[in-house]
Amino acid sequence: MSIAHQRKKQPEAVRQQLLEAAASLCLEKGAGSLTLDAVAAAAGVSKGGLLHHFPNKAALLDGLLDDLMERLDAAIREAMRSDPEPHGRYTRAYLQACFVPGGMAEEGRWKAMTMALLGEPNLRRRWRRWVEEQSVLHAGTDASIDCELVRFAVDGLWLGSVLESHAMPPERARMLARRLTELSYS
């Protein structure tokens, strides 16, 4: 009997298992080579079980992006709660969530999703919409040119991390984070 038939029904746990498997496969082989069969096998779930949660590859990638954006939103909200200074609060939270010396939370999943974002127009539209919504939501506190510069720098650091193009010693990363934090107050 397969693992899927022995497991108690836990739909959210199965869904997370599928998302983890999809992220791992995207990271290892690229989003272009991601197949539903491969995800089901890697997660130890029947293809029917996968199709119950994600009827196609696009839905699976959407689910992965939704999950990551929810986690990013939660990390940003948490960081904002502990910041007493309104000006630049969102920018500092974004910096804290996305550029952490030693690696951001969910780094492997974000690397996989970034690769998928590069190749999937629908995912790019959804990400752009999230960025635009954040800009509108925080326009009263984070519209300064310095805050915008910090967010662009964070995005560049994130992309450099995804592409593994820039080796950065931890002390250098801490120095960059401190300087970007300083700019967010301007």
Residue 126 has pLDDT above 70, yes or no: yes
Residue 18: domain span: 1-55
Q: Are residues 95 and 139 in the same domain?
A: yes
Q: Are residues 150 and 82 in the same domain?
A: yes
- State the sign of the Cα–Cα–Cα–Cα dihedral 70, 76, 79, 84: negative
Count: domains in the chain? 2
Q: How far is CA 142 from CA 110, 119, 162, in A?
A: 24, 30, 26
Q: Are residues 98 and 153 in the same domain?
A: yes
Give the model confidence (pLDDT) of 137-166 as tens digits: 999 999 999 999 999 999 998 888 878 888
Domain annotation covers residue 60:
no
Q: Are residues 90 and 168 in the same domain?
A: yes
Q: Are residues 159 and 116 in the same domain?
A: yes
Percentage of residues of the chain with pLDDT beyond 90: 50
Mean pLDDT of the chain: 87
pLDDT score recorded for residue 111? 80
Global pTM value: 0.83
Q: Are residues 170 and 125 in the same domain?
A: yes
Domain boundary among 12, 37, 55: 55
Q: Are residues 74 and 115 in the same domain?
A: yes
Say how far apart CA 74 and CA 96 lie, in whole Å.
Answer: 12
Give the model confidence (pLDDT) of 50-91 as tens digits: 899 999 988 998 998 998 899 899 999 999 999 999 999 999
Q: Are residues 50 and 71 in the same domain?
A: no
